[in-house]
Amino acid sequence: MTDAKASLTWRFPTAFWTGNVVELFERAAYYGTFIALALYLTDVVGFSDVQAGWIGAVFSSSIYLLPFLTGAASDRLGFRRSLMLAFALLAAGYAGLGLFPAKAAVPVTLALVAVGGAFVKPVITGTVARSSNAASRARAFSLFYMMVNIGSFTGKTVAKPVRTALGLEYVPLYSAGAALAALLVVAFFFWPKEGGEEQPRSARDSLAGLVTVLKNGRFLSLLLITAGFWAIQGQLYASMPKYVLRLVGPGASPEWYANVNPFVVVLCVVPVTHLVRRLSPVTSIGIALAMIPVSALIMSLSGGMTGQITVLGAALHPVTVLMVLGIALQGFAECFLSPRYLEFASKQAPPGQEGLYMGYSHLHTFFAWLVGFILSGYLLDAFCPDPKKLAAQGITGEAFTAAYAHAHYIWYVFAGIGAAAFAALVLFALVTRGADARHEARG
Instruction: Please give the chain's pLDDT, 443 residues, in tens.
Output: 444 454 555 678 888 899 899 999 999 999 999 999 999 999 999 999 999 999 999 999 999 999 888 877 887 888 899 999 999 999 999 999 999 999 999 999 999 999 999 999 888 888 887 887 777 776 787 788 788 888 999 999 999 999 999 999 999 999 999 999 999 999 999 887 765 545 556 778 888 888 998 999 999 999 999 999 999 999 999 999 999 999 999 999 999 999 999 899 888 888 998 888 888 989 999 999 999 999 999 999 987 777 788 888 888 899 999 999 999 999 999 999 987 887 888 888 888 777 778 788 889 999 999 999 999 999 999 999 999 999 999 999 999 999 999 999 999 999 999 999 999 999 999 998 887 777 777 76
List own/partner pairs for 216-221 with CB under 8 A and 24 or more apart. 216/348, 216/349, 216/350, 216/357, 218/348, 218/432, 219/345, 219/348, 219/349, 219/357, 221/424, 221/428
| Distinct helix (H) and strand (E) counts, the chain | 21, 2
What per-residue confidence (pLDDT) applies to 277? 83
Angle between helices 318-346 and 240-248 in degrees, nearest 10: 170
What per-residue confidence (pLDDT) applies to 6? 47
What per-residue confidence (pLDDT) applies to 124? 86
DSSP state of 302: G
Best CATH choice for the domain 14-187 from the list 3.30.9.10, 1.20.1090.10, 1.20.1250.20, 3.30.450.20: 1.20.1250.20
Q: Could you state, in order of their start, the residue ranges of all structural domains in the chain? A: 14-187, 201-443
Best CATH choice for the domain 201-443 from the list 3.30.1330.40, 1.20.1250.20, 2.30.30.40, 3.40.50.12780: 1.20.1250.20
Residue 397: CB partners within 8 Å, gap ≥ 6?
none
DSSP state of 202: P
At residue 304's C-alpha, the angle toward residues 298 and 309, to 5°, is: 70
Partners of 315 in beta bridges: 310
